[in-house]
Structure 1
């Protein structure tokens, strides 16, 4: 099954682009000295920096490229072994470039600039501001420009080669939407959600890697009981049966691809990382409801997950029956203490969407935090608005199925290219 990977997709890049870390610019300075020909002899350190680290057939990956990709992935807060993931991504890039050259697939500078401008725009930044964030973190603009060029070219290649065979049939769309005669789909999941910040990132990533290798339900349940921040830890991380359509749209396709007992790749949330284990999947008669909008209220309490903040959160829960009751709780306070939203499912932050999936109207959660764990979120589901008819929803499902298949074709092709390539580490 194809795993959900935390890669340098547009969405993840923008979501994390403004996280700044204090990263030394010493290596970057040496790189610029060579790249822009500043008129002095390169140091031995710089020579080593640009020495080959890996060869993929006749293509070379330098130490500098590895360093730059690692910096970029650190900026994105990519979970897992960043050095290993940077190495694997760059090898894949070389394999992709070989195929792109073979088929004459190219993109011009304007397309690349548009792609980078779009990334910047999603973070409400101009391209110049976006590149400034990269420079502040020791990342040369050329690094992201090259990555964007490969990404756009590879997407165009995959579309030309696989799009026609990747499009789903009407029956396949019906089945994915839970509208076929056999009914909808419910899933039985276990979850483990671990808070992450700059101080504990290394330990959390190592822990998540270890949990991701577990093979049994009991082992995952034990880890959730001990370490999960979600309320479900009291039940070993086990969630009840839920309609697939209640999950955030980004997570639905990931969950559907799991085998029984299989665990997802790390799912990045705001201030946390999540893992989900599949315990069961079943079809139900009559189809499942899809939602046009979900309304929720979030009340913010200082102190994060401290005993005092959790006690205050429980005290407020005992005083409220509906979302409207929060207005009385928040009266006289700064307006930012209460946030009430009604959003289409795809616009809801992933961590909030996951929590809302577990709730019925007027139920609450004290699992989430904001402000790097310093603020506790008291979350209540106000209600769900049913979707009337198919319309855009059907098109969205069709596009998602198409993209899943193209991704699968892409991975299969890359696996074959790796098997045929001569990859040597220096």
Structure 2
């Protein structure tokens, strides 16, 4: 560590000597170390750059800035945590190729409705360097992969936890069917006379008959409804049955998409609901793929390039006739499938990371993929079959598993960050 720090600091010390020998030269500020973090350092220039970015973000939100010394300490602490994770990534052999980084930058630009050139111009207008932004994206990608490896493996969700969640009121609400609805309201003012109520009911019944005969719901809502969303064709968005007042909570489940309820008297008047669409619920038919794979992970003793070459050699050996299952048992570093010859069994593609899912989708049944990279490492996969299956119960269990894992991830992440911070050597100079 001392040698590394000495190498990092030598240019700064040399600059100080030169400045000291030029008594009449212009004095310029020298970059300095503001924190030592294990085997690395954080420089004042890094802190200043991040401070500018944070200050601009806060200003855009219209919020007031905290005192500069408070903000500096908060930003420095964030840089320290990031630095620790980046060092873990470096020791684990995590590297972000330029091609991956370019794709990530392009995706960020697209999400903001820009081309890459427009994105660069926008950064420049905010006083930010494209190269600095690119470096920050690379750092965030490394940190994301470190967390996937180190935090995800700490999370355990038991079958009993899944079943308890499914049986709870919260679980039933979160996993229940959703309905996209529109309404028409014929108002009945409070304290209305019986004749006024009867008149409103007749109007509602007339509208209901027109709708049954094919009238356009949106047009009638615009012209006749007193509801808040009348000008949007009466559309009120997605709702779960449990979020609707009686008797609509029971009526809506019996409707087919496109159907309308009969007028129902509510405190505000007579309401007609139309079911525009629905999603979720009990019946789930999904595509599944039977796949097996070999996973190879870069490490401290095997570089990214060596890992890729090993994946290519295994691919060639399988192509030459060697048994996929035996090679998976011998080489795969996926603990969940290696002992089964790499077999992942029938799996929902949506449960997989995008890189794996895309290659699997492009690989015909009975064929082998060329080696490819995902956040977990290098893979070779073979598609054994495809099917469509009604897996409503399994789907609900997987949804519950994902919800519970996401809940636990946030807790585990914070615990892990505290752990690595406590275990690291940190000396601040601020």
Give the TM-score normalised by structure 1: 0.42
Structure having the higher helix fraction is: 2
Q: Name which one, 1 or 2, has greater alpha-carbon Rg.
A: 2
